[in-house]
Amino acid sequence: MSTIARILTIEDDPAIRNGIVTYLEDSGFEMLEAGDGIAGLELFRREHPDAVLCDLRLPGMDGLDVLATIIGESPDTPVVVVSGITVVSDAVQALRLGAWDYVTKPVHDMGVLENTLHRVLERVELLRENREYREHLEVLNRDLSSSLQQLREDAEAGRKVQRQFLPAAQQRFGNYVFSQRLFPSMYLSGDFVDFFPIDANHVGFYIADVSGHGAASAFVTVMLKTLISQYREAHWQEGDETIYHPARVLQRLNRDIRRQNLEKFAIIFYGVIDRSTDRMVFSAGAQFPYPIICNGRKARFLKYKSRPVGMFDDSRFVDHNLDLPGEFAFYLVSDGLMDLLPQASLQEKFDALLEHVTDADSSLDEFIGGFGLDESKEYPDDITVFKIERHDAHA
């Protein structure tokens, strides 16, 4: 936590209480102390501490009653039971009443108690962020419903609203730089791109190209963003690890889209970069053209076979791992770009695309400029260009 946490310890043994208070004060906590349950409750109600350490056997008022009262009055305040009672039923009862953790006495290593406090306080912060995120997501969903109505009434207004949900044109995560540009066709865009932090080390990203054009395809891009936002929330709130595993994400998207009976499918590439290991894990739903990786000297396609997302119930997706070089550029483009290439054959188009990826130092604007793309123009199909790069020299 960024501010000093206030901890209330309710312990009837003065020597034990003094040992806990002294150690935790030295560790940077602000400590409050009480020698019995009644005094502890009075102090809790007056001072509103960030967390409570509570013994189970207290004079005047039993520790379980103290625990139940605190949880009833302030369920978001973590209570850690610190007790010498070894009866399993007492520990189970404390946890059922709402205790966040249980540490047995004697506490031979105070570091265990400190780590427990840090863990429950981090969980409090996470729950607060989740609550704010849910509120934000509810607002977002209401806005999306309103926006979809506007799409039916005014396609141009709908396009502007849709673009609001795109990420920034460029964003840095450590020494990784993510850049994107989307050039809609004359219709509402069926392309979408997004990137976001999952935790301190992992960054998720995807590019999607929904079949067709117009409001129906645009609706699916919005639905994709909402679904992936829900997968992220499931991780933060419930510990669901799906968002870290691209193949699982595509499998779940395939199921969720098929359930909607939209008669739409999507070409999707979803990846996660672990910045601590410089490794990318990714999975693709028929991504075309293939992703391009360039190490500053040579560019190559990452080729694989896969099915679109949302087309077949029995589709299966596979995770691929890629160790990222010290300097690299990674490009994903939608198939609308291929329509602009003058070459006759597909292989010639692929060769021309690789020629534009010369090294990891070229900017996304230079790459786009090589194709003459201009936001003021209208194109027959949506065009999305997405780049990830890393330069160790800039770290």
Return d(Cα 161, Cα 140) in angstroms, integer.
Answer: 12
DSSP string covering 46-115, please? HH--SEEEE-SS-SSS-HHHHHHHHHHH-TTS-EEEEE----HHHHHHHHHHT-SEEEESS-S-HHHHHH
Return d(Cα 292, Cα 332) in angstroms, integer.
Answer: 7
Omega cis (within 30) before 380:
no
Closest Cα to residue 334, out of 165, 199, 217, 175? 217
The answer to whether 318 and 247 are in contact (CB under 8 A) is yes
Instruction: Tell me the fold of 6-124.
Output: Rossmann fold (3.40.50)
pTM comes to: 0.60
Low-confidence residues of the chain: pLDDT under 50: 1, 359-360, 393-395
Pairing between β-strand 51-54 and β-strand 6-10 as defined by DSSP bridges: parallel
pLDDT at 221: 86
Right CATH for 166-394 from 3.90.226.10, 3.60.40.10, 3.40.50.720, 3.40.140.10: 3.60.40.10
pLDDT at 275: 95
Dihedral angle of Cα 338, 344, 345, 347, to the nearest 10 degrees: -60
Q: Where in the chain is the domain with CATH 3.60.40.10?
A: 166-394
Q: Where in the chain is the domain with CATH 3.40.50.2300?
A: 6-124
pLDDT at 163: 65
pLDDT at 359: 47
DSSP string covering 142-190, please? HHHHHHHHHHHH-HHHHHHHHHTTS--SEEEETTEEEEEEEE-BSS---
pLDDT at 301: 92
pLDDT at 360: 43
The residues with which 232 forms a beta bridge, in sequence order, are none
